[in-house]
Structure 1
Amino acid sequence: MQEIVPGVFVETGFRGGNVGAILTDEGLVLIDAPPFPEDARRWKNFLREQTHLPIRAVIMTDSYRDRLLGPFWFQPPLLIAHAATHTAMSSLPGSYAGSVVNALTRDPGEMSGFGSAQLLLPNITFTHQAVLHFGKPALYLYAHPGPTKGSLWVHWPERGVIFTGDSVVVGTPPFVNSDHSKEWLESLSILRRPRFPADVIIPGHGDVTDKEATEPISEFLRLARRRVRSLYKSQRSLSETALVVHELLALFPAPLESELEMVQQRVRTALQFIYNEFRDLELDGLEILEEDEEPGLEIED
């Protein structure tokens, strides 16, 4: 747990992804929250050591499974998310919290620690941009579809600090759970612009970083789109996208042997979403263009 700039706290070692907190005049704003109860207790205790002010809000950067249980441990007055995250969570069955626990751990002792944990629905949502004020600083929330339809960023421009959620991850292939890879690439191009004030990036997974960390994600998405576009236009099946997995894995450090199958499945899932993205274009009667012909898509090869 570290204070990366005055008033911004980050933990990158919890299972389930990175979490952060920003200290405002009126209290703490949490960006995501640890899904495991013991990690949540540690995070809560650390934050209590930093300030006597209360937790005013938790912001969910997306609707990915590992993000869903964390807010329960904090019971925030405000739970803020993109409207698409609210929609996705509203469609889940009441038993889904148990499914999340089963996906997070198989250890009986750990599972018992979750007790009666439930999913909390966001009570504040937005669609494009929002500004959050608890005194100072003003925090800017931007919608950036990519890893999920409801992915968002949290920006403190005066400090050049941005929480990107899984729009940026470090040292591992990205988590793709939506058919918005084109918008994702556009968002990363925006983030890389010299005039965009983001000297410090807190990714969804991995160490605190800077704009250079966006390049491997863009390279992955561009290559995946090229390969899947070629397969789709050649009328190859969805299952044949698996042929590209090893080429994409080579863009990142080799995962641990114990994690290899999980990471391979993550890449297979990404390719399937991108395939469906092209299929939906065709179903909508739109032409599938080559990458350098796509309007609005900045190519930086």
Structure 2
Amino acid sequence: MIEIEPGIYYSELYPGPTLGAIVLPSGIVFIDAPLRPEDGDIWKSNVLNRSHGAMQKLLVNLDSHPDRTIGSKAMLCNTLAQQKAAEKLYNRTSVFRGQLPESGSDWEKYPETNGIRWSPPNMTYTEKIELHWGGPSVFVEHHPGPCPGASWVIIPERKVAFVGDTVLQNAPPFLANAHLPTWIESLDTLNSDFKNFTIISGRGGAVPHLLINKQLKSLKKLIKRIDRLAKKNAPPEAVSDLASALLDDFSPENKERETHLQRLRYGLYQYYLKHYVSDEELQEE
């Protein structure tokens, strides 16, 4: 567990996303949950040991991705998510069944997650919510792009922002539920409004601002490549074949290369279907 500023922590010790915690005089804000319930117990205990008896606890789901929401129930506290993320979580079955095709997600490497009971959020917001538990104010803001219900947790006074999958370090993006033009707008916001902030990625921990610019370039390049294929009326399978050519832009020389390649293949295929293939074309197929 790494302390960024007094009372603000992140951890990459557990399977799943980068975790965050903000310890305030009157409570603790947890940011995302470990995949496995037993890891959730350990993480929560470690943070509580630094909280000096703070009683109130809140978990923020930065989006609806299973990697960061499967373990929410084990955190045993109120859960907050942006409204669109919450709607997606409400529509899932009460028990997690890992029956999706290989999407390059972390949960796919842990079969013990199959059968875990979901705990959907019991609190939602639309654009922004401010938390006052003593100490610095904490804002949870809607910043879509990686998915419609993506959130950031921002502590302006301490110049720290947890941005989920908006920026990824040494890993390719999840594209299946993304909207690339909106994602680029969110990255532009990071560049313009958060220059002096410590940025915590939801997959990779603290990231340099140079990485934001690199990801901007990579996403713009990706849009051009997809647009080029769309103009040729290429089938979705042709777009997923772009994965090998694009992988080094996001995940060079990484030990998770095969998983990341599958993530891009799956994401490109789904993205193209949703944004470039009409309902009529799908019916013809």
Q: TM-score, normalised by structure 1?
A: 0.83
How many residue pairs align between the two structures?
Answer: 272
Q: Does 1:28 align with 2:8?
A: no
Cα 1:14–1:118 shift into 2, 3 Å? same
- The equivalent of 1:59 in structure 2 is 60
- The equivalent of 2:151 in structure 1 is 152
- The equivalent of 1:270 in structure 2 is 267
The 3-state SS of whatever aligns with 2:163 is strand
Distance 1:150 1:14 in 2: 24
Bigger mean CA offset, 221-230 vs 96-105: 96-105
Q: Give the deviation of 1:197 after TM superposition.
A: 5.6
Q: Does 1:91 align with 2:91?
A: yes
- Cα distance per residue 1:108-134 (max 9 Å; x no partner): xxx3xx697421111111121221222
Distance 2:165 2:110 in 1: 21
The 3-state SS of whatever aligns with 2:202 is strand
Q: Which amino acid aligns with 2:108?
A: A
- Cα distance per residue 1:136-194 (max 9 Å; x no partner): 3211111111222111100001111000011111111122231411100000011011x
Distance 2:85 2:118 in 1: 12
The 3-state SS of whatever aligns with 1:218 is helix
Q: Does 1:122 align with 2:118?
A: no
Q: Which amino acid aligns with 1:214?
A: I
- The equivalent of 1:237 in structure 2 is 235
Q: Find runs of 4+ consecutive structure 1 residues off by over 6 angstroms.
A: none
Distance 1:20 1:215 in 2: 24
Distance 1:54 1:212 in 2: 39
- The equivalent of 1:286 in structure 2 is none
Distance 1:199 1:25 in 2: 23
Distance 2:228 2:135 in 1: 50
Q: Give the deviation of 1:96 after TM superposition.
A: 2.4
- Cα distance per residue 1:231-280 (max 9 Å; x no partner): 00111111100232122112132222xx3332111111332244245427
Distance 1:246 1:214 in 2: 22
1:1-301 map, 5 Å: 1-51=1-51, 52-76=53-77, 78-96=78-96, 103-106=108-111, 111=112, 117-193=116-192, 195-196=193-194, 198-251=196-249, 252-256=251-255, 259-276=256-273, 278-279=275-276
Distance 1:55 1:99 in 2: 35
Distance 2:226 2:114 in 1: 43
Conserved? CA contact 2:67–2:107, under 8 Å: no
Q: TM-score, normalised by structure 2?
A: 0.87
The 3-state SS of whatever aligns with 1:69 is helix
| Cα RMSD after superposing both structures | 2.3
Distance 2:167 2:215 in 1: 7
Q: Give the deviation of 1:221 after TM superposition.
A: 1.3
The 3-state SS of whatever aligns with 1:96 is coil
- Cα distance per residue 1:182-222 (max 9 Å; x no partner): 100000011011x4365211101113123222123222211
